[in-house]
């Protein structure tokens, strides 16, 4: 019996491993390049309104960013402490919050070019550095995209700008809000911000 | 006069460092949060009604090309302190890069107006006394919001004071008000560069105080580890 179980375990590992899609550094680079090209094409489209651009960029990010992972990560230990109802409300509020924030920034695109550098693996995370060249100011900014395998596809987990991680920053921000108030307050604040961003456009 | 100042200041700096070098701190560890939030609110007021409008005005009345050259002059004046700091870190190579950048840009680059050193392959990287302290193993100490200057920590605040006295520019100028003027000018150049990133944080963060604290801590860590060395034109 014991032997059977061990065999079964091994068989499951093998099946899992063979069916699992493995991410690699070069694949990640191609992925980032493709997403960036898509986003820039939308941002550059002079025929589209800002609202339309924003919607299209939100759709790309919704597909390419592992929002459920990010949402849980930034809530940290408070995710486990939250009730199922709170978790549900939080996820529902977080998704439009993060999408609107990202898309809002990206519609401000103004002719920057990029080079992708140094794709490499850090354990099971693929890291691709985007060196953004701003022709207006002549400044170079390094942005690291951290990608993971999300259900058989490349998914963006974190964006690190000059050493500053969006995940880490947001986790601190949310922890600070929950320490001062509670999870319900955070959820309400997210909802409020979403409607403010929506009406601002 | 200057030696007396150094004799008086050094022991103060040393004991201040001993005070801050107590424990390690994670991102949200903030024993002085009450004081810091008060100072943050004060700074935000000063920024909203005074500093940010000046930075906007500066952007509005100057074309980008002028700001680039003014920025180059400002950056060039950081090089001597970067050099001293790099030497204090024991990074002789980096110190020499800062030395040659300053020498080349001041002469060939016409007083720093043109950053010819970067074109020549000497990449820009700023170092400061806080980073030198960190390289000696001194812990950051508590997070600290300074009046006007903004996010800092015990170690970096002491580093700023020490940097004033370790900066060769202070002695070359040899006039306190001129030095203060240069520092204010550099601050304005920096504030203009950060107009959009800072506006972004305010518009997207639900707790800007916590966001800036986290960003400062991460950014300092990256600078201390010289992440993406050579690419760093932005200071924070």
Residues B133-176 have pLDDT tens digits of 999 999 999 999 999 999 999 999 999 999 999 999 999 999 99
Structure-token pair, residue A68: 């459920």
ipTM above 0.90, yes or no: no
Residue of A nearest to B236 (CA): A162
Mean pLDDT of the B35-43 span: 97
Q: What is the mean pLDDT of chain B?
A: 88
CA B14/CA B12 separation, integer angstroms: 5
What is the model's pLDDT at position B205? 92
- Residue contact B233–A139, C-beta within 8 A: yes
Instruction: Give the confidence band of A120 by pLDDT, cuts at 50, 70, 90.
Output: very high
What is the model's pLDDT at position A12? 53
Reduced to 3 states, what is the DSSP secondary structure of residue A160? strand
If we measure between CA atoms, which residue out of B228, B16, B12, B36 comes closest to residue B138?
A: B16
**Which residues in B204-226 are b (16+ Cβ under 10 Å) and which e?**
bbbbbbbbbbbbbbbbbebbbeb
Q: Which residues pair with A150 in a beta bridge?
A: A153
CA B26/CA B214 separation, integer angstroms: 10
Question: Residue A107 phi/psi, 5° resolution?
Answer: -70, -15
CA distance B196 to chain A (A): 10
| Higher-pLDDT residue of B85, B225 | B85
The shortest CB-CB distance from B215 to any of A137, A169, A171 is to A169
Instruction: Give the confidence band of A138 by pLDDT, cuts at 50, 70, 90.
Output: low
Which of B59, B194, B204 has the most A C-beta neighbours within 10 Å, making it the best mutation to test the interface with A? B204
What is the model's pLDDT at position A5? 61
Lowest-confidence pick of B48-52, B133-137, B226-230: B226-230
The shortest CB-CB distance from A162 to any of B193, B206, B234 is to B234
Residue of B nearest to A178 (CA): B207
Name every residue whose Cβ is closer than 8 Å to that of residue A6 and which is 6 or more positions away in sequence.
none
What is the model's pLDDT at position A104? 79
What is the model's pLDDT at position B199? 93
- Residue contact B207–A193, C-beta within 8 A: no
Structure-token pair, residue A123: 């354990």
Residue with tokens 């909203």: B48
CA A64/CA A60 separation, integer angstroms: 6
Residues of B in contact with A107 (CB under 8 A): none
Reduced to 3 states, what is the DSSP secondary structure of residue A156? strand
Reduced to 3 states, what is the DSSP secondary structure of residue A121? strand
With beta carbons less than 8 A apart as the criterion, state whether B10 and B131 touch. no
- Radius of gyration over alpha carbons of chain A, in Å? 20
C-alpha of A95 from chain center: 10
C-alpha of A129 from chain center: 15
What is the model's pLDDT at position B66? 95
Lowest-confidence pick of A52-66, A154-168, B216-230: B216-230
Instruction: Give the confidence band of A51 by pLDDT, cuts at 50, 70, 90.
Output: confident
Q: Which helix (H) or strand (E) holds A143?
A: strand A140-150
% of residues, chain A, pLDDT over 90: 54
Residue of B nearest to A98 (CA): B204
CA A99/CA A105 separation, integer angstroms: 10
Mean pLDDT of the B41-60 span: 97
CA A97/CA A107 separation, integer angstroms: 16
Mean pLDDT of the B192-214 span: 93
DSSP string over B121-177: T-------HHHHHHHTT----SEEEETTTEEEEHHHHHHHHHHHHH-HHHHHH--HH
Predicted confidence (pLDDT) per residue in A76-101, tens digit: 999 999 999 999 999 999 999 999 88
CA A157/CA A72 separation, integer angstroms: 11
C-alpha of A137 from chain center: 27
Mean pLDDT of the B193-201 span: 91
Residue B58, classified by CB atoms within 10 Å of its CB into exposed (0-12), middle (13-18) or buried (19+), is middle
Contacts by residues A183-187 (CB-CB < 8 Å, ≥ 24 positions apart): A183/A78, A183/A81, A183/A82, A183/A86, A183/A90, A184/A86, A186/A90, A186/B206, A187/A86, A187/A89, A187/A90, A187/A93
Going by the DSSP 8-state scheme, the letter that residue A111 receives in this structure is: S
């Amino acid at each position: 019996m014991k032997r059977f179980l061990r065999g079964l375990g091994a068989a499951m590992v093998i099946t899992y491993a063979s069916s699992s899609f493995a991410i690699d550094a070069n694949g990640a680079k191609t992925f980032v390049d493709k997403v960036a090209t898509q986003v820039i094409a939308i941002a550059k489209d002079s025929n589209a309104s800002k609202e339309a651009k924003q919607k299209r960029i939100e759709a790309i990010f919704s597909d390419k960013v592992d929002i459920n992972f990010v949402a849980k990560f930034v809530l940290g230990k408070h995710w486990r402490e939250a009730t199922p109802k709170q978790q549900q409300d939080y996820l529902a509020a977080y998704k439009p919050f993060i999408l609107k924030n990202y898309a809002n920034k990206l519609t401000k695109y103004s002719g920057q070019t990029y080079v992708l550098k140094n794709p490499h693996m850090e354990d099971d995370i693929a890291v691709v550095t985007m060196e953004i060249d701003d022709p207006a100011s002549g400044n170079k900014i390094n942005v690291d995209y951290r990608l993971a395998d999300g259900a058989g596809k490349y998914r963006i987990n974190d964006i690190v700008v000059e050493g500053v991680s969006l995940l880490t920053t947001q986790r601190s921000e949310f922890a600070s809000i929950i320490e001062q108030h509670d999870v319900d307050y955070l959820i309400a604040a997210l909802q409020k911000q979403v409607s403010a961003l929506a009406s601002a456009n | 006069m200057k030696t007396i100042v150094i004799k008086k200041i050094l022991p103060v700096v040393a004991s201040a460092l001993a005070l801050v070098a107590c424990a390690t701190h994670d991102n949200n560890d903030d024993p002085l949060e009450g004081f810091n939030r008060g100072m943050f609110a004060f700074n935000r007021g000063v920024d909203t009604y005074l500093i940010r409008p000046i930075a906007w005005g500066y952007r509005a009345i100057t074309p980008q090309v002028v700001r680039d050259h003014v920025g180059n002059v400002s950056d060039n004046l950081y090089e001597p302190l970067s050099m001293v700091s790099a030497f204090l870190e024991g990074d002789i190579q980096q110190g020499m890069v800062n030395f040659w950048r300053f020498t080349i840009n001041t002469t060939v680059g016409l007083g720093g107006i043109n950053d010819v050193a970067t074109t020549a392959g000497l990449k820009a990287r700023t170092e400061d006394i806080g980073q030198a302290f960190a390289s000696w193993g001194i812990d950051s100490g508590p997070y600290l919001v300074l009046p006007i200057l903004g996010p800092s920590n015990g170690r970096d605040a002491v580093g700023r004071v020490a940097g004033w006295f370790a900066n060769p520019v202070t002695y070359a100028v040899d006039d306190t008000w001129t030095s203060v003027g240069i520092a204010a000018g550099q601050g304005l150049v920096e504030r203009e560069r950060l107009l959009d990133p800072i506006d972004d944080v305010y518009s997207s963060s639900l707790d800007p105080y916590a966001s800036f604290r986290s960003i400062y801590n991460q950014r300092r860590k990256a600078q201390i580890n010289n992440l993406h060395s050579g690419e760093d034109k932005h200071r924070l």
